[in-house]
Amino acid sequence: MNSVEGKIREKLPALQADIIEENLVVYPQNSEEVSSFIKLCNDEKISMVPIGSGSQIIGADKTKVYLSMRKMNRIVELAKADLTVSVEAGISIKELAEALREYNFLLPVSHHEKPNSTIGGLLARDAGGIEQYARGTIHDYLLGLEFITPTGELIKTGGKTVKNVTGYDFTRLFAKSWGTLGVIVKATFKLIPMPVEKALFITHGVSIDDLTQQMKEVLAKRYALVSFMGMSGKVLGLDEGLRYGGVFVLAGSRQAVTHQLQALKGLLDIKEIITGTDSVDDYLEDLLGSKASQAEIILGTDRRTLLDYLPRELDAILDNTSMDIVLDGGSGLVQLTTTNVQEVKKMLGERLQEFNFSFSDERSPVDILYNRIKRSLDPNRIMYPNNPRFVEVS
C-alpha cells in the first residue's frame, strides 16, 4: 500500500476503493462521500481525476487516483407532469434511456455510439450525438446541477424550471468543465415525449459527390429529419464498387414519418428502409457502437464544410490509404479509422491547411482565462490537473 492509498484508507475507511493497474479508484456512494474525499485530496494535495465509464480519459497518466461515479447511478426523481428527471451523475445514457422509455419520455442524446457513457461524462464534454442536427446537445436539456468544488463544497445551481439563471451561468460553466472544476453529482433535465415512429433509410453512392448531393437533397426537405450521416461503403458492408453510403433517420408522428418517407422515395434511390423505433435504435447501435470505440482521428467542422469541401479532401486521402470515414451531419464530426494514423494526419494537415484548417493546439486569450478560473477554484490544482485541454499557459 503506498502512502496516498494509506492516507485515504485511514481517513475515509468506509469509502469503497480498489487498486486497478496500480491506480487507486474510489467509488463514493453519495455526495457526502464525494465531498469528504475531495476535501482530503485538497488538504493533502493529492491530484485526482473524476471519471464516469472512463472511456475518454486522456493525459491523466501522471494521476494515480480516480474518483469513479459509477456507484452513484440512481434516478432520483422523475416528475412526469413537469417532464423533468433528476439523476445521479454516474447513470449511463443507456440505463437512463431504458428507464425513461417505460414512460415514453426521452432525453434526446443518442446512446448508440457509446451506451456506457455516463451523464457526468456526457455533460462534462457537452455531448451531442447523431441527433444533434434536430435536438441540440445535452446542455440544451440541462436545468440544474449539483456538484462538488475542488475544495469540497456542495454547490447547487439552476433548478427544475427553464428560467433559473440570475447571475453568471455557473450551471453551464461547471457542467462543461471536463472534470477540471468540480465533480457533477446530480443533474436535472427537461425531457421530450418519445417519438412514436422512426424510419432509417440507406442510400448508396459510387462517388463522394453522389453522397453529398443526396445529403443536400434530404436536407432541403428536412421536415422529420433528426440525423444524417455519410460513411465509406466498407462501414456499411456495401459491395466494393460502392464507395459511400448515406444513413438518414426520420422521427416524429407516424403520419409525419410516413409522409416524408414517401416524398423522399420520389427524390432518391433508397436502397433499404428500416422502420419502428426499436429496430432503428438496434440497427444504429450495431452500426455505430463498434465504430465509435475504434475511431482514431476525430475532426470537427461546420455543416457547409462538411458538405461542400471536406468530403473531397477525405476522398482523395482514401485513395492512398486504407481508412474508414463516418461523417455526422448533425454534430459536424468526422470520425476516421485507419491503421496509418500518422500518415493520415500528415496528409490531412497538408490538405486542410490549403483550406485554412488545422488540428491546431494554438492558444488564444480564452485559454488564459481558463487558467485564471482554474487557479481561483482549484488553488492546489488537484482536479484533473493534466487534462490536455486545459494545461497551463501563460
Ligand X SMILES: Cc1cc2nc3c(=O)[nH]c(=O)nc-3n(C[C@H](O)[C@H](O)[C@H](O)COP(=O)(O)OP(=O)(O)OC[C@H]3O[C@@H](n4cnc5c(N)ncnc54)[C@H](O)[C@@H]3O)c2cc1C
The answer to the question of residue 57 lying near ligand X (CB under 6 A) is yes
Among 35, 84, 118, 149, binds ligand X (CB under 6 A): 118
Site for ligand X in 26-55 (CB under 6 A): 49-55
Under the binding rule (CB under 6 A), the answer on residue 110 touching ligand X is yes
Pairwise CA distance, residues 46 & 17, whole Å: 15
The nearer residue to ligand X, 130 or 348, going by C-beta atoms, is: 130
At 90, list the grid cell. Answer: 454516474
Q: Does 183 bind ligand X (CB under 6 A)?
A: yes
Which residue, 126 or 343, is less far from ligand X as judged by CB?
126
Q: Which is nearer to ligand X, 122 or 306 (CB)?
A: 122
Please, what is the minimum distance in Å from the beta carbon of residue 67 to ligand X? Answer: 8
- For 241, which DSSP code? T
CB 86 within 8 A of CB 76: yes
| Least distance from ligand X to the Cβ atom of residue 57, Å | 5
Q: Which of 64, 114, 243, 374 binds ligand X (CB under 6 A)?
A: 114
Residue from 105, 141, 309, 384 binding ligand X (CB under 6 A): 384
Q: At residue 115, what is the residue type?
A: P
In this structure, the dihedral spanned by the alpha carbons of residues 374, 378, 384 and 385, taken in order and rounded to 10 degrees, is 70
Are the CB atoms for 197 and 277 separated by under 8 Å?
A: yes
Cα angle: 309, vertex 312, 314; to 5 degrees: 105
Instruction: Answer yes or no whether residue 86 interacts with ligand X by CB under 6 A.
Output: no
| Residues ≥6 apart with Cβ < 8 Å to 35 | 148, 152, 153, 154
Residues 86 and 106: their CA atoms lie apart, in Å, by 13
301 is a site residue for ligand X (CB under 6 A): no
Least separation in angstroms between residue 253's CB and ligand X is 24
What is the β-pairing status of strands 225-232 and 323-328?
antiparallel
Q: Which is nearer to ligand X, 180 or 260 (CB)?
A: 180
Cell numbers for 330: 448533425
Report, in Å, the least distance between residue 59 CB and ligand X: 9
Written as one letter, the residue type at 72 is M
- Would you say 118 or 212 has its CB closer to ligand X? 118
- Cβ burial 359-386 (10 Å sphere, 16+ → b, else e): eeeeeeeeeeebeeebeebbebebbbbb
Nearer to ligand X, 85 or 208 (CB): 85
Does residue number 329 form part of the binding site for ligand X (CB under 6 A)?
Answer: no
Which listed residue (171, 331, 335, 338) binds ligand X by CB under 6 A?
Answer: 331
Q: Convert 235-256 to b/e letters by CB count within 10 Å (16 or more is b).
A: bbebeeebbbbbbbbbbbeeeb
**Could you say which of 33, 95, 113, 281 contacts ligand X (CB under 6 A)?**
113
Tell me the number of residues near ligand X by CB under 6 A.
33
Positions touching ligand X (CB under 6 A) are 49-57, 69, 89, 93, 109-110, 113-114, 117-118, 120-122, 124-129, 178-179, 183-184, 331, 384
